[in-house]
Amino acid sequence: MASLLSSKSAIITGAASGIGRATALIFAREGACLILADVSAEGGEETAKLIRDRGGEARFVRCDVSRAADTEAMVEEAVKVYGRLDCAFNNAGIGGAQCKTADYDEAEFDRILAINLKGVWLCMRAEIRQFVAQRTPGAIVNTASAAGLVASHSMPAYTAAKHGVVGLTKCAALEYARSGIRINDVCPGVVDTPLVEEMVAGRPKLAARLDQVEPVGRKARPDEIGEAVAWLCSDAASFVTGTSMSVDGGLTAQ
């Protein structure tokens, strides 16, 4: 039986750790050839090595998703190495400072939107242009968040950016639906990742609350998000576009 992503060329941003790394390993398991992108060269190369050690195909490129030149070079590398681009997971993002809206630092607000929202748009722009140039179907999945569907206390910039990702996804999905380009986003709840570990560092009460906030009684594993992304990028999801898939243990159903 053919693998879910057999022989597909894929890009994954934020691949150095967490959801990005877990998804990269799943894509490789399912037969994809990968370009892995991140600002962390050490983590990105480690992910690529993990895949190659298991017999997969992966190359790392350093990419700051807030820079147009970097996102364009990332797509160019995929085409140079694999001849085309078939799918992409725009996952790179940061949590940023936690502070109430009226007290939020302007520079920090700009930084979070530059990476978490503008970065998704820049990646999508480069990827969609490549799909159009190839005249082939393609699939894009963006990482939004449960915070893109409901408010997240003391995270105004992050919440605004993730709401923006949801809207951007829907807009692009409608624009390119007749071109055979499917664009969706995933909305994780609380996931056991370095981003969450950083968020709760030195804050035991918050750590305990996050352990209990999910209706299923635990945080998600990164690979549980990755499995959803792999399906959305595959031909099995051929009639799915413009959707925000909650992978949140029931968090936003409350």
CATH number of the domain where residue 158 is located = 3.40.50.720
Any domain includes 178: yes
Provide the domain count of the chain.
Answer: 1
Any domain includes 209: no
Structure tokens at 109: 């607000």
Task: Write down the mean pLDDT value for the chain.
Answer: 95
Any domain includes 55: yes
Across the range 215-224, mean pLDDT stands at 94
Lowest mean pLDDT among 129-133, 183-187, 210-214: 210-214
Is 82 marked active-site? no
Any domain includes 46: yes
How far is residue 197's CA from residue 207's CA, in Å, rounded to a whole number?
8
Any domain includes 197: no
Q: What is the pLDDT of residue 207?
A: 73
Instruction: Tell me the per-residue pLDDT of 70-119, one tens digit each, with 9 for 90 and over.
Output: 999 999 999 999 999 999 999 999 999 989 999 999 999 999 999 999 99
Instruction: Tell me the per-residue pLDDT of 22-74, one tens digit each, with 9 for 90 and over.
Output: 999 999 999 999 999 999 999 999 999 999 999 999 999 999 999 999 999 99
Domain that holds residue 160: 9-191+221-246
Report residue 111 CA to chain centroid gap. Answer: 18
For the cut 80, the answer to whether the pLDDT of residue 206 exceeds it is no
Does 1 or 216 have the greater pLDDT score? 216
For the cut 70, the answer to whether the pLDDT of residue 20 exceeds it is yes
How far is residue 26's CA from residue 208's CA, in Å, rounded to a whole number?
30
How far is residue 71's CA from residue 118's CA, in Å, rounded to a whole number?
11
Q: Which of 82, 104, 158, 176 is catalytic?
A: 158
Any domain includes 115: yes
Any domain includes 4: no
Q: What is the pLDDT of residue 231?
A: 98
Q: Are 27 and 5 in contact (CB under 8 A)?
A: yes
Q: What is the pLDDT of residue 172?
A: 98
Q: What is the pLDDT of residue 82?
A: 98
**Percent of the chain scoring above 70 in pLDDT:** 99
Any domain includes 17: yes
For the cut 70, the answer to whether the pLDDT of residue 1 exceeds it is no
